[in-house]
Structure 1
Amino acid sequence: MASRKPDASSRVKVDGYEVVTYSFGSGSEVLFLLNGGPGLPSLYLREPLLPLLEQGYRIVTYDQLGCGASDRPTDPKLWTMARYVAEVETVRQALGLGPVHLLGHSWGGWLGIDYALTHPASIKTFILSNTCGDMPHLVGELNRLRAALGPETVAMMQHHEADGTIDHPEYQAAVTILNYRHVCRLQHWPEPVSLSLGDWNMGPYGTMQGPNEFLYIGNLKDWNRIPDLHRITRPCLILTGHFDELGPACAMRMKQALPDAELTVFPNSSHMPMYEEPAAYLARVSAFLGQHRG
């Protein structure tokens, strides 16, 4: 499947490096996408949202520094939340976007939260897709999901994590099971997902998050913005999957802390409802944006 080519693409200077942007459509209402990762190309997130072009939206995204077609420096000091927040604002201003409808998926949601807190006037609405506002709480949820594998498997995983042998086949097998339960439940992962995952730069990911989706030991491990979410007063839509690794419990913590938030749980999805339940996901995003046009 050939992905749609952007109507415009540019290189934007950030911290002495360049990131590559992608723009589709020409509407005045801009949906600005922040994809997951960190270290993932933007392809997987933009593809399922491109049908919104038919409703007159302009869709803009970019490959964050360190991934995709953007520059890939190797200095771990670059991989911080504050630097990425500044990067998002640099890109928005360079493209002359004005206030945007912001959609952040997974890590893009964490980045979006800090961005919305730092630059509140830059957004019209905020869609928090399959994300959370409290990393220590998420770690507890992930341990609960791991526990469903059984005590022997959990003990095996903890042994390899303590020994630094997480590349062992039995550990990787357990992570694979968790991925197919809680990241994407489709038997065959869609091509945009496979392409993005196949080009994952583990430098930013390992520095900020950890070695896999179920072990958070990076510089974000203590990140918690629940006490600050009351400052995000723009309309918010929270999306999660029933089986999501960042699931309904994480979503409810954000909803209870945000002043103006709606929450939708996709019953047959995990972390990728835009692929697992694409029609429902697109309809929900479209309805929310439609309430806040203009």
Structure 2
Amino acid sequence: MPPAPSAKGTVPFGSHQTWFRITGDLSSGKPALVLVHGGPGSTHDYLLNLAELAEQGWPVVHYDQLGNGGSSHLPDAGPEFWTPQLFLDELDNLLRTLGIADNYVLLGQSWGGLLVARHAAARPAGLRGLVIANAPASYPLWLAEMKVLRDQLPPGVNETLLKHEAAGTTDSDEYHAAMRSFYEKHVCRLNPWPRDYLASFYEIYNDPTVYFTMNGPSEFHVVGTLKDWGVIEDCPQIAVPTLLLSGRYDEATPVTVQPFQDLIPDVRWHIFEGSSHLPHLEQPAEFRAVLLEYLESLAG
């Protein structure tokens, strides 16, 4: 089957622009699958292989959240500007402007999973389904589990990380080398790292404004404005069928995902046994099969 056609552009968001890419036909009758990337402060690139779902008739929408990638960059905006509500408003604006607010499914990965959970809790009429992939239900839970995972790193690695975090030298080569040990175990277990993941990884460091402000210098050292934020209280309000996805070695450990399983009324959870934080790249065939089965269940 030939690849589905795609279109790219931007939509205005206040005085800013949100970049998007549509793969497939939004008028096909099937809900659009809107992909909400992680970070905050990453880009759509590492989720690009999910565009293949359009070959099965599901239109797929990628976009770059404000501050990164093809969307407006605002390096001078202060911490008070970068809030979860900003990104919720941006998502609402994108859905309305693309004309899909009455028929869509959301897939949020990592930070995007928290974002789509909060969106779904408002019970928007056009939301047909929700996929929460590799996401914690709260950052306090995430931080507690990061300590568990860090303590399991090879001897000396966590001590190096702690030394630089205490000294404020997390931009040093030694910190980045130690950080890689964690990433190779709990973020992406493929060697070498895939091109799409590297593209998003480098985009963060080309403009770290959002990531450093809201998250911090690394996945496991969350000292930004999100450190106390979570969506546990939103989970009982989610009224659409929800699919939870995580990897066996995921930095989003079972403890961080469990509140979604416990509190969302209509939910099921699939764990990818050979993956960490990016099962769509680490086990792409199984990921597509699980996701397509879920999407077809919505149509049924």
Q: Where does residue 32 of structure 1 map in the other structure?
A: 34
Q: Where does residue 66 of structure 2 map in the other structure?
A: 65
1:103–1:109: 8 Å Cα contact kept in structure 2?
yes
CA change 1:186–1:24 in 2 (3 A) is same
Structure-1 separation of matches of 2:225 and 2:160: 25
Letter matched to residue 90 of structure 1: N
Where does 1:272-287 land on structure 2 (aligned, <5 Å)? Answer: 272-287=278-293
Aligned-pair distance for 1:121?
2.2
Q: Where does residue 51 of structure 2 map in the other structure?
A: 50
Q: Where does residue 156 of structure 1 map in the other structure?
A: 160
What is the count of residue pairs matched by the alignment? Answer: 290
Structure-1 separation of matches of 2:242 and 2:8: 28
Where does 1:107-118 land on structure 2 (aligned, <5 Å)? Answer: 107-118=111-122
Letter matched to residue 247 of structure 1: T
Is 1:236–2:242 an aligned residue pair? yes
Is 1:176–2:206 an aligned residue pair? no
Poorly superposed stretches of 4+, deviation over 4 Å: none
Q: Extract unaligned runs of 5+ from structure 2.
A: none
SS in 2 for 1:57: coil
Where does 1:257-268 land on structure 2 (aligned, <5 Å)? Answer: 257-268=263-274
Two-structure CA RMSD over aligned residues (Å): 1.7
Aligned-pair distance for 1:293?
1.5
Q: Where does residue 91 of structure 2 map in the other structure?
A: 88
Aligned-pair distance for 1:194?
1.2
Structure-2 separation of matches of 1:196 and 1:119: 31
Is 1:223–2:225 an aligned residue pair? no
Q: Extract unaligned runs of 5+ from structure 1.
A: none
Post-superposition Cα deviations, 1:230-259, rounded to whole Å, max 9, x if no partner, equal 000110000000001112222222101111
Deviates more, 1:110-119 or 1:51-60: 110-119
Q: Where does residue 169 of structure 2 map in the other structure?
A: 165
Q: Where does residue 193 of structure 1 map in the other structure?
A: 197
Structure-2 separation of matches of 1:206 and 1:118: 28
Is 1:125–2:129 an aligned residue pair? yes
Q: Where does residue 7 of structure 2 map in the other structure?
A: 8
TM normalised by structure 1 equals 0.94
Aligned-pair distance for 1:134?
1.4
SS in 2 for 1:28: coil
Structure-2 separation of matches of 1:240 and 1:281: 10
SS in 1 for 2:18: strand
TM normalised by structure 2 equals 0.92
Identity of aligned residues (%): 35
